[in-house]
Amino acid sequence: MLLLFEGEDAVRKIYEVTGSIRQRWMSGQTVRDTYGDMVRDPVTNVVEYFEPAVLVGASTQVVSHVMRMLLKYLAKDAGLVRGAMDFQTNEDVQRTLVMLKPDNWRQPSLRAGNIMDLLSSAGLRIVGVKKFAMSVAQAEEFYGPVKENLKKVFKHFGSDRAAQALAREFGFPVDAAKMDDLCNQLAPLFAEREFENIVEFMTGHRPSICSAEEKFILARKSVSRLSMKVLMRSTRSAISWAQQIRTRRVPDRSAASSVRISWSMRLMPRTRSKMRVAK
């Protein structure tokens, strides 16, 4: 996998995180200390085995030279991995898409890498990765089906909560079964508000205050609003396998080894049933 980083003093910072080829510290402080290996003959000191784990440029000159060399192949060779020798390609292979949401990039951390590691260690091969900033129009289209689902599930918890609120306000019992008509009127309002919250979470902008033109051009460029799409495939059922790793939308009921129990957060207020949205 080829990763391209940008930022102040990027070459030096990546080089320091990677560590020396000679493994000077041997303490797990760098990538090579943790995952690299070097074996020397105890008598001659000749290197008999060397595994660098990653390859990086030691200077801006080296990086510039390598980038110019790779630029010639990007148009035809970049993108999806197809036909790798260690992976079968047949009709049983499925592909599925996983999206790492913006809160994984709010600050430098191991979260995104750990999630990808969990996904790939479960028998799924990552064949494509793209980091992108979602526009308001893209978020509206992608999450469009959520609106109708929000309307449907609102009645499941809205009736009880409305009845409890009215009982507290007026001082007499209120039958939740009689709140259905009220919930039918409130459901579209609830769905619209939560839909706006989701789009704002993904893009940094609320659709209701964006013009039609802005929806196609607004995409917050800060790291905190970037997402990553990971395309995976497997000889097993990749779709159901990825869903199992991700688990249900309720973080506190998920398996300890799942993505959601380890790194999820709630987008919407705590409600009953399926209204707990995480990753």
**62 domain-assigned:** yes
**90 domain-assigned:** no
Measure the CA–CA gap between 47 and 225, rounded to whole angstroms: 45
257 pLDDT more than 70:
no
Domain range for residue 52?
1-78
* pLDDT recorded at residue 275: 30
* pLDDT recorded at residue 272: 34
pLDDT-derived band at 236 (thresholds 50, 70, 90) equals low
**39 domain-assigned:** yes
- pLDDT higher at 276 or 6: 6
What does residue 51 show for φ and ψ, rounded to 5 degrees?
-130, 105
**249 domain-assigned:** no
For residue 30, give the amino acid letter.
Answer: T
**273 domain-assigned:** no
179 pLDDT more than 80:
yes
**207 domain-assigned:** yes
Query: Nearest-CA neighbor of 115 among 228, 199, 224, 35?
Result: 228
* Contacts for 237 with CB less than 8 Å, ≥ 6 apart: 94
Domain end position, chosen among 78, 100, 129: 78
Q: CB atoms < 10 A from the CB of 205, how many?
A: 20
- pLDDT higher at 21 or 91: 21
Ramachandran bin of 241, using left for φ above 0, alpha for ψ from -120 to 50, beta for the remaining angles: alpha
Domains contained in the chain, number: 2
Domain end position, chosen among 198, 217, 236: 217
* pLDDT recorded at residue 270: 43
**45 domain-assigned:** yes
261 pLDDT more than 50:
yes
**16 domain-assigned:** yes
3 pLDDT more than 50:
yes
Of 34-43, 144-153, 162-171, minimum mean pLDDT range: 34-43
- Mean pLDDT of all residues in 20-25: 66
- Mean pLDDT of all residues in 62-86: 78
Domain end position, chosen among 196, 217, 238: 217
